[in-house]
Amino acid sequence: MQDVPVAIRLNPFKGSCGPEGSPVPWNPLGRILPSRPSFTADPLFHAGCYYVQDSSAMFPGYLLRRVLEDGFAREGLRVLDLCASPGGKTTDAAASLRALLGDRFLLVSNEVTRSRVPVLLDNTARWGDPCVTVCSADPSVFGKLAPGCFDIIIADVPCSGEGMFRKDPRAREEWSPAVVDLCAARQKRILADVWPALAEGGVLIYSTCTYEDSENDSNLEWAAAKLGCEILPPPGAEFASFGVRTTRCGSLLKAGEVPGEGQWAGTLIKTSLSARRPSRFDVAALRPLRTGISRGMMKGGDYIPHADEALAIGFDRSRFPEAELGLEEALRYLHRDSLYLPDAPRGIITVTYKGHPLGFVKNLGTRCNNLLPPGRRILMDI
C-alpha cells in the first residue's frame, strides 16, 4: 500500500485546535498533516476539537458552502445527510451551517446500514452540535414520511470505490465491471427514492469515491432527464492548480493528482413540482436514534449527566465543578480507569484537558467513578 495522506478538519466551535499541517485548498478548517499521529492518544480528538477526514472527502462540504453563500442560508434550513457514516460530511456541514445560522437549522444525519450507525453516533456526539439528529432509515422512508421537507440533501452514495484503491487494497480486489453496473443502478434507485423529500427549488449534492462516468456524470444527466432538475455548473478552474478536474457535470479529484484520495462531486437543483414545503417537520416520525445531545438521568435523587453533555457545543460549564487533567490522567480517563482527584469537591466533576471538556466523573473522595460510556473506551495500552 502506498503512503496515504492524512488530514483533519478543525472544530471552530471548540477553539480550532489540533495537529498542525498545511491548508486544504477547499476548506479553511482543513489541515493536511506531514505524518499520521496517534489520534487515539490525543485527548483533543476525543473532545471533538477536530475530525479526521480525507482532504478530498471535504470537497462536497465546499459545494455546500457554495450553495449556502448563494442565498440558501436562511433561518429554519433543513438538511439531510443521506448516507452519513462515519460522519465526516455531517460534521463538516454542521460547522458551515452553524457559522451562518447559529442554532437556526436542522441537520438529519442518516445511515441505513445498522453496523455503521455506532461510529456515526460517536463521531457526531464528539463534534457536539445540538442541531444534529441521527437516524437509520432507508432513503425511501424520507420520500414517504417527509415529502418536500428538506432544502438540501447530501448524498455520498455507495460506489465501486476506485478512488480508494491506493488506501484500501480490498477495494481493488472487489472491483469489476459488474460491480460498477450494480452500483450505478443502486445509485439511481437511491436518488429516485429520496427525491420526493427534496423541496422544489432545493439542492442535492451528489458525491462518490469512484472515477466511473456511469456512477458520476451519467447519473446526474439521468437525474436531470428523469427526475426533474438542473445540473448546477461545477466550480470550473478555481482549484485546477491543486489537481481538481472539471467534468461534464462536476468535479473529479484523483488520488495522486490531489493531496487526498479519490472523490467526485456535483450539484443538482430540483425543478419538478413537489409537495409544498411544510412549515413544520416532525422528526419523531423518522424514529431518530438521537435528537440533539443525549441527556442524563436521575439516580437516587441525584442527576447523573450523560457524557455527551460535556462534549456539546454550548455546554454550560458552570453546572459542575471542573478538574483539569494532564495527558497521562486524561488517557487514563479515556481508558475508563478510575481517577483520584484529592483536590476536587465530591460529586459530579467535569474533567478537562487543555481546557476542553472530556466528560464526567463522580468523585467519592477516595476515588472517582468514571462516567465515560463503555463503548468509547480506548483500548490501546497507556
Q: Do domains 54-286 and 296-376 have the same CATH topology?
A: no
How does DSSP classify residue 227?
A: I
What's the pLDDT score for residue 1? 46
Residue 292 banded pLDDT, cuts 50, 70, 90: very high
Residues 211 and 252: beta-carbon distance below 8 Å: yes
pTM attached to this predicted model: 0.95
Residue 316 makes CB contacts below 8 A (sequence gap 6+) with none
Average pLDDT on 86-100 reads: 98
| Residue 294 to residue 126: CA distance in whole angstroms | 11
What is the percent of the chain with per-residue pLDDT over 70, rounded to a whole number? Answer: 99
Domain spanning 54-286: CATH 3.10.180.10: no
| Residue 190 to residue 209: CA distance in whole angstroms | 16
User: Residues 340-357: pLDDT tens digits?
Assistant: 999 999 999 999 999 999
Using omega within 30 degrees of 0 as the cis cutoff, is the peptide bond preceding 86 cis?
A: yes
Region of residue 214 (phi > 0: left; psi between -120 and 50: alpha; otherwise: beta): alpha
Average pLDDT on 38-60 reads: 98
What's the pLDDT score for residue 276? 78
The end-to-end CA distance of the chain, in Å, is 28
- Give the bridge partners for 124, in sequence order: none
Q: Would you name the residues annotated as active-site residues? A: 209
Written out in words, the top-level CATH class of the domain with range 296-376 is alpha beta
Maximum pairwise Cα distance, the chain: 70
Q: Where are the domains of the chain?
A: 54-286, 296-376
Q: Above 90 in pLDDT, residue 279? A: no
- Of 195, 206, 218, 205, nearest to 273 (Cα)? 195
User: Residues 1-40: pLDDT tens digits?
Assistant: 457 789 999 999 999 999 999 999 999 999 999 999 999 9
Read off φ and ψ for residue 251, nearest 5 degrees: -125, 135
Residues 285 and 145: beta-carbon distance below 8 Å: yes
Residue 66 banded pLDDT, cuts 50, 70, 90: very high
Q: Above 80 in pLDDT, residue 171? A: no
Question: How high is the mean pLDDT of the chain?
Answer: 94
Instruction: Give CA angle at 190 (187, 192), nearest 5°.
Output: 110
What's the pLDDT score for residue 281? 84
